[in-house]
Structure 1
Amino acid sequence: MKKETSFSTKGNVVNLGSLSINRILPNSYTGKVGPFVFLDYVAPAIKDIVTKSGMGAHPHRGIATLTYIIQGEEEHFDSAGNYAKIHSGGIQWMKAGTGVVHDENLNYDAQTDSKIIQGFQFWINLPAKNKAEKPAHLAIQASEVPKKTLPDQSGTIKVIVGNYEELSSKIPNYSQQFLYHIQLEAGKQFSLSLTDKIEAAAFLSTQNAVLNDTEFKTGEFVEFSREAGEIEIKNTGLRTIDVLLFGGEEYTEPVIAEGPFVMNSKEEIISAYEDFYAGKYGEITTKAQ
């Protein structure tokens, strides 16, 4: 049985210079999908000037950030001393844990001829016991992202987070979670079965797609019901489509989000701010390379 659609919506767009940032999650219908509590989409844009400064250093506590760069080059700096640069198709993952300051820098990918930038940033809410852990960081290049061809040469699936069949992401699982990038060829389809009480959503970044017999438009975020069932994706167009499919088990602990912090109580939010202003998160010392 196919899962029903709970709702669909489009995000709010904010322009930052040449970049258009589309805030997909949270939205007016929901604040989270499984452990995912935030999603910004950087729509394809040309950036032909290389910048050395970041987008603005800021703190986090209680979450893991995940940046998936479709096209471009992304630099990561944080106050725990981590530094990495990834290229098109790569992933930066940072567990903020007890608190960290980080910054990111987006430029075109010097390894390609394209000056287009496109990507996503997710926040993954950590269980309460993991919010008290030390910060950690992973940089995963495109060649390290698990990927396989779908049956009948229908397209490909990349496992950004979680597992799919024999594929497993390097990103730690603190709960049942998944984030897949599916590319589906023209005239093809793909189906995925999910168990009961698993929250799931899709985002259509490039083209329209038919999800469980309903056509949705480019830029739409679509959430599905929590009952067990199938998600079927059809490409009825003439070009390859991209679909991000993500979710996981329901986060049942209290969720209190304010600014860059996601905790389990108002008191913990206050403590997060106090510790940041007291300098307990440290400072970024690594320079752009």
Structure 2
Amino acid sequence: MKKKTSFSTKGQRADIGDLTIYRMLANRYTDAVGPFVFLDHIVPKMHPSTMNSGTGAHPHRGIATLSYIMEGEDEHFDSAGNYAKVYSGGIQWMKAGNGIIHDETLNIDSQTGSNRTHAFQFWINLPAKNKAEKPEYLAVQSNEVPQKKLPNNAGRIKVIVGNFEDLNSKIPNYSEQFLYHIQLEPGKNFTISIDQRIEVAAFLPTKDATLNDEEFQAGEFVEFDRNAGEIVFDNKLPEAADILLFGGEPYTEPIVAEGPFVMNSRVEIAEAYRDFYAGKYGNIKYEKSESNY
């Protein structure tokens, strides 16, 4: 049985510097899909050799941030001393835990010379017991992202988070969760089965696609019901299409989000701000971080 669509929507504009951004999650219909509580789509864009694309140093607590760079170069600094650059196809993952400050800058890819950028940032909510843990960080380059061909030469699937068949992402799991990048060839289709109660959404970043016989436009965020069933992706276009599919088990603890913090109560939000202003998240030492790379 095919899963039914719960809703579809397009994001709100939320530009930063030279980057054109659409905020897809949270939206007017839902605050979360499984553990995912935030999704910004940095849309494909051509840039000159210099860009103003940094978020600036800012704190997080209670979540893991995940940046998936389809095109471009992402540079990461944080107050725990972590530093790395990932390039087109790579991933930056950071568990904020009990508090960290980070700074990310998206730029053109110095390895390929391409002047296009295209990326996504997700926030993954942590279970209450993990919100108090120390921060962690992981950089995953494109060649480290598990992927495989789809049946019948339909395309490829990349496992950004979670697992699919024999593929397992390096990104830690604190609950059942998954994030797939499906690349579907022209005239091809692919079917995936979703278990009962699992929350799941699809996002079409650049091309139209047909999901369970219903046509959706590029830029649409589509959430499905929680009944067990299949999602059939059809690409009726003369060119390949990209689809992000993500979700997981429902987050059953209270969710209280404010600014860069996602906690389980208003008291914890107040504590997060108090600890930040008290300097407990540390400071980014940019020169030291670069020297350790």
Task: Tell me the TM-score normalised to structure 1 length.
Answer: 0.98
Q: Quick check: 1:57–1:101 contact (8 Å CA) kept in 2?
A: yes
Q: Quick check: 2:33–2:247 contact (8 Å CA) kept in 1?
A: yes
For each residue in 1:196-242, what CA deviation from the matched residue of structure 2 results, as whole angstroms up to 9, or x when unmatched?
00000000011100001100000000000001000110001111000
Unmatched runs of 5 consecutive residues or more in structure 1? none
Q: Which residue of 1 aligns with 2:231?
A: 231
Q: Which residue of 2 aligns with 1:156?
A: 156
For each residue in 1:89-142, what CA deviation from the matched residue of structure 2 results, as whole angstroms up to 9, or x when unmatched?
000000000000000011100111310000000000000000011000000000
Matched, 1:247 2:236: no
Q: Which residue of 2 aligns with 1:271?
A: 271
Rounded Cα–Cα distance in structure 2 between residues aligned with 1:230 and 1:265: 36
Distance 1:214 1:46, change over 3 A: same
Correspondences of 1:47-58 after superposition (within 5 Å): 47-50=47-50, 54-58=54-58
Q: Quick check: 1:18–1:45 contact (8 Å CA) kept in 2?
A: no
Matched, 1:216 2:216: yes
Unmatched runs of 5 consecutive residues or more in structure 2? none
Residue type matched to 1:198 in 2?
Answer: I
Residue type matched to 1:22 in 2?
Answer: Y
Correspondences of 1:113-128 after superposition (within 5 Å): 113-128=113-128
Correspondences of 1:164-243 after superposition (within 5 Å): 164-243=164-243
Q: Which residue of 2 aligns with 1:64?
A: 64
SS of structure 2 residue aligned to 1:273: helix
Cα distance, 1:48 vs structure 2: 1.9
Rounded Cα–Cα distance in structure 1 between residues aligned with 2:249 and 2:177: 7
Aligned length: 289
Q: Which residue of 1 aligns with 2:38?
A: 38
For each residue in 1:19-75, what CA deviation from the matched residue of structure 2 results, as whole angstroms up to 9, or x when unmatched?
201100000000000000000000011222335984211000000000000000000
Q: Which residue of 1 aligns with 2:101?
A: 101
Greater alpha carbon shift after TM alignment, 7-16 vs 67-76: 7-16
SS of structure 1 residue aligned to 2:14: strand
Q: Which residue of 2 aligns with 1:83?
A: 83
Residue type matched to 2:179 in 1?
Answer: L
For each residue in 1:152-174, what CA deviation from the matched residue of structure 2 results, as whole angstroms up to 9, or x when unmatched?
11000000000000000000110
Rounded Cα–Cα distance in structure 2 between residues aligned with 1:14 and 1:49: 23
SS of structure 1 residue aligned to 2:186: coil
Q: Which residue of 2 aligns with 1:144?
A: 144
Rounded Cα–Cα distance in structure 1 between residues aligned with 2:139 and 2:52: 19
User: Could you say what the CA RMSD is over the residues aligned between the two structures, in angstroms?
Assistant: 1.2
Q: Which residue of 2 aligns with 1:19?
A: 19
For each residue in 1:225-281, what CA deviation from the matched residue of structure 2 results, as whole angstroms up to 9, or x when unmatched?
001000110001111000000000000000000000000000000000000000000
Q: Quick check: 2:19–2:53 contact (8 Å CA) kept in 1?
A: no
SS of structure 2 residue aligned to 1:19: coil
Q: Quick check: 2:17–2:53 contact (8 Å CA) kept in 1?
A: no
Residue type matched to 2:156 in 1?
Answer: T
Rounded Cα–Cα distance in structure 2 between residues aligned with 1:195 and 1:29: 22
Rounded Cα–Cα distance in structure 2 between residues aligned with 1:47 and 1:181: 24
